Structure 1
């Protein structure tokens, strides 16, 4: 049996079946940048390390490539619009979303996420058309027991309202 490599569309269709938490990563700059990411994960407890991935062709990459610190915001189930705003290209995301303030190290902090982490970037690893960014959390806060926003099958959902089954595109 011959095995054929997956093309990008088939790969994307398969991975849509993996549920992921939705985060917004922000970085200081003039102007600051922010983007929606579902690739956030914890990497290590000793030392504490997290990672996220970013397309090196994205408008946010030049700022993240130079940033010493970033903030990762774990969005709550009611924050669909925040996720959409920071996923929209070609707009000033911070003008469109006014609920933010300057935080430690000049990193923009969004209002009302389930939790946020300010992280020191420790490494950037090229991986295909993306970069894996490794970062050490240096500060953080959580808002209590809020349910996370989930991304599954191309839709935002929550743990209390799973996404409806959709046909693969």
Structure 2
């Protein structure tokens, strides 16, 4: 059982301050996709995605445990695809982030080798099967074993930094 701030002697951290300070760290933006039981594309926008291990090849993302989109992804099965969005795909990011039933109505995609939606124009995509699921406060940590991966047709990744979207240009 986790220790409280009182038990550790540390002061309580204000959630708004926590979010503000960590907002100074830029994150890539991905859309995690799958197919629901009817075969329709489903997904969620995620800013907390990372590589975990080379051997075996593992990645992870951290969805809010109360997210309806995460619930739909969990119920769809164990396979998912992580789509690394390109700088020109802020509209895709926003479309998938909203609460609506047909998020992929205007988003072009093709099936991955595992059948998951690969969003056209993404910088890269990573097809996975869930390896582990961990509780982590108000989020889950989903560890996925990589089945297939490929560079996409996008060139520059979409980034999120201090509450706004942008891009990265290497020197």
Provide the C-alpha distance between the structure 2 equivalents of 1:18 and 1:149, rounded to a whole number of angstroms: 14
Deviates more, 1:64-73 or 1:148-157: 64-73
Partner of 1:73 in structure 2? Answer: 83
8 Å CA contact retained: 2:50, 2:59: yes
Q: In the alignment, does 2:169 pair up with 1:160?
A: yes
Where in structure 1 are there 5+ consecutive unaligned residues?
A: 162-169
Give how far 1:88 is off.
Answer: 1.4
Partner of 2:160 in structure 1? Answer: 151
TM-score by length of 1: 0.86
Counterparts of residues 1-169 of structure 1 (less than 5 Å): 3-29=10-36, 30=38, 31-66=40-75, 67-95=77-105, 97-143=106-152, 146-160=155-169
Which of structure 1's runs of 4+ aligned residues deviate more than 4 A? none
Give how far 1:49 is off.
Answer: 0.4
Give how far 1:87 is off.
Answer: 1.4
Provide the C-alpha distance between the structure 1 equivalents of 2:22 and 2:55, rounded to a whole number of angstroms: 29
8 Å CA contact retained: 1:148, 1:158: yes
8 Å CA contact retained: 2:92, 2:107: no
8 Å CA contact retained: 2:44, 2:70: no
Where in structure 2 are there 5+ consecutive unaligned residues?
A: 1-8
Give how far 1:145 is off.
Answer: 7.6
Cα displacement string for residues 91-144 of structure 1 (whole angstroms, at most 9, x for unaligned residues): 52111x331133333312211101001011111111111110000111111036
Give how far 1:80 is off.
Answer: 1.1
Provide the C-alpha distance between the structure 1 equivalents of 2:124 and 2:101, rounded to a whole number of angstroms: 25
SS at match of 2:62: strand
TM-score by length of 2: 0.85
